[in-house]
Structure 1
């Protein structure tokens, strides 16, 4: 029987595709020093949000659109635009280098700020509070401590790597610096969240109405399948823990609804209708 060593095209693509972490490291290494410091933490946040171990060719436009909604598009400020610009340049780089086949960058929509400099200077302290569940707050505090300890170790790694010789061709040093950038970016992100965090007091909320912090069950009206979620701010969202963002399709549709209400959600399979079968 004849045999062949030919590998299916799909398998070849999977084997040659970069992980997000690897793509991030490749991109950062070629960035100019003057832009790296500001952009690296923002791109690192994007990589963490999607999952660093994911293959970049598995990313779909809807995920970029959701990131856009959560981290910038609905707040047309200069800061939000700059954050998205860093990520957009990263995605443009991946397309230019043919690491991805579709132009994901076009799904990040940068808006010009309509807020004048005078208005910004007149109201510098108007910062929106972020409502967190007690468990979410505790988890962020724990993660912050871990990252701060990790940062100390990374500094030691940098010092050891720098002592090994020529810093221009020192892979361990470059890797340590990249790890430092990701850690610092995440630390800054968590600290900024905790600074304006308000712990949700469930006792003062209407248990029949879905609000931030609510745990609820949705029943698919077509299949009777039941889904259990908790509604949270984007900063606390974690699909693996069934914590969904208020800006997600389900989250935005259900916020403010009451027990027994039906909601319609647009999904890749079309519109789905769910009934709120339980709230807590």
Structure 2
């Protein structure tokens, strides 16, 4: 008598972990059209800052705090409030849908508005607390190039809007809606880069402390269990680009190796569990 084998039943549904970009698209799809226009560029900026391919369950509170510090905490303007509000609602959505375990939204805070007299006193003196952004020379050059491309893109989009608006009813005009959405995202990127370049300081490699990991350092890390080697350059969040092996100082790996010396071992919490890396090279 033939016997048949049955596949074991799944007792627990495997949770799918979304990338930040996938979570962003999921959130945007359920937003009302009017709210989407204002919020989408700001959330897109947040997604680019952390990295679109970043898994949402790997985001840590200190990274949210860093974003808060750079893009909103030092100002109490209406723009800053709207910017952080959009991102906060996005993070609240992720928690409500149980896509993340930590309530990251609580780490976005905005300073209370100052009194009129306080604002008057502040405006009369320079802001000595402005946070400088340290960039590598290549990062600065890349941002400058990207800014030029975006400014050219903005001109093209304006022409697209003019053409689409001339085609008929603006209330049911998909090309016009798409062009306006692209315009909002492009302007947001331009403002972000301009703000960064305004306070940018180019890192002088000659002034870097030898054998210690600092912003701008290029490092080789060796995973102690598998002996696998990876190479990174440590940069500010504004310059981070995982595809170019540039990691942010607030990322799990970046924050662990920042300030460490050649030969040191560091522990890094990853979605796969805790891993130990040895700093095998630095320059």
TM-score using structure 1 length: 0.77
Within the candidate set 187, 211, 215, 2:214 is matched to 211
Contact 1:69–1:247 (Cα < 8 Å) also in 2: no
- Partner Cα distance (2:131, 2:120) in 1: 14
Shift in CA distance, 251/114, structure 1 to aligned 2, threshold 3 Å: farther
Contact 1:81–1:110 (Cα < 8 Å) also in 2: no
TM superposition shift of 1:60 = 2.5
Shift in CA distance, 61/19, structure 1 to aligned 2, threshold 3 Å: closer
Q: Which runs of 5+ in 2 are unaligned?
A: 1-12
User: After superposition, what is the alpha-carbon deviation per residue over 1:74-118, rounded to whole angstroms, capped at 9, x for unaligned?
Assistant: 97445566533212324556888xxx6636893223335379553
- Partner Cα distance (1:25, 1:178) in 2: 14
User: After superposition, what is the alpha-carbon deviation per residue over 1:151-174, rounded to whole angstroms, capped at 9, x for unaligned?
Assistant: 000000000011111111111111
- Partner Cα distance (2:121, 2:100) in 1: 37
Shift in CA distance, 136/25, structure 1 to aligned 2, threshold 3 Å: farther
Confirm whether residue 136 of structure 1 aligns to residue 139 of structure 2.
yes
User: After superposition, what is the alpha-carbon deviation per residue over 1:25-68, rounded to whole angstroms, capped at 9, x for unaligned?
Assistant: 763623288xx2xx44312313444667x7xxx95333375752
Q: Which runs of 5+ in 1 are unaligned?
A: 1-8
User: After superposition, what is the alpha-carbon deviation per residue over 1:162-209, rounded to whole angstroms, capped at 9, x for unaligned?
Assistant: 111111111111110000000000000000000111111101212311
Contact 2:95–2:103 (Cα < 8 Å) also in 1: no
Shift in CA distance, 28/187, structure 1 to aligned 2, threshold 3 Å: farther
Shift in CA distance, 193/207, structure 1 to aligned 2, threshold 3 Å: same
Q: CA RMSD in A?
A: 3.4
2:86 aligned partner: 86
Q: Summarize the alignment of residues 70-149 of structure 1 with structure 2, pairs less than 5 Å apart.
A: 70-72=66-68, 76-77=73-74, 82-90=82-90, 102=99, 106-108=103-105, 109-111=107-109, 113=111, 117=115, 118=118, 122=122, 125-126=127-128, 127-149=130-152
1:6 aligned partner: none
Shift in CA distance, 128/90, structure 1 to aligned 2, threshold 3 Å: same
Contact 2:236–2:248 (Cα < 8 Å) also in 1: yes
